[in-house]
Amino acid sequence: MANTAVNATERPAERPSLTLTRRLRARPEKVFTAWTQAEQLVQWFGPPNMKPATMEAELDVRTGGSFRISFVRDDGEYFEAGGTYREVVPNERLVFTWAWHSTPERESLVTISFKPDISGTLMVFHHAQFADETARDNHLRGWSSFFDKLDAFVA
């Protein structure tokens, strides 16, 4: 009888992820607050083709707390995302799960670090565990446009 060895260290294929680095023209405290105060988040979050009056956010920013963000696009399509905060280090780091209400089984993980920088804040945004490359690419476009709005908001 032949012996077969199984490599216990083999891991399933890595799921797609993305990392965006932005230098923002505000101190980490201001950028962190823009992410963690609902009344500020609704002023910059969302794609450029949304109806601004439709943006809503409910944030319970603490480890184990949850959030829900929703908006309506200009074409009338409704979007809602939510998740749970896994780590909250004021002015330094946020880690939370992310899932769209239409595909709750496709939960991903967002990690954001805020570091003081010469121009204000170096924000490193990492979104991991996408279901596939199409989801990653769609989020890359979305987050990039959101961060342009964030930079203008905190400046």
As a whole-number percent, the residues of the chain with pLDDT over 70 amount to 92
**Could you read off the pLDDT of 116-142 as tens digits, one per residue?**
999 899 999 999 999 999 999 999 999
Element (H, E) at 4: none
Cβ–Cβ < 8 Å for 42, 56:
yes
- Predicted confidence band at 13 (pLDDT cuts at 50, 70, 90)? low
Cβ–Cβ < 8 Å for 88, 70:
no
Dihedral over Cα of 94, 138, 82, 72: its sign? positive
Q: Give start and end residues of each alpha helix (H) in the chain.
A: 28-36, 38-44, 133-154
What domains sit in the chain, N to C, each tagged with a CATH number?
Answer: 18-154 (3.30.530.20)
**Could you read off the pLDDT of 36-87 as tens digits, one per residue?**
999 999 999 988 888 878 999 999 999 999 999 999 999 999 999 999 999 9
Helix 133-154 × helix 28-36 angle, to 10°: 120
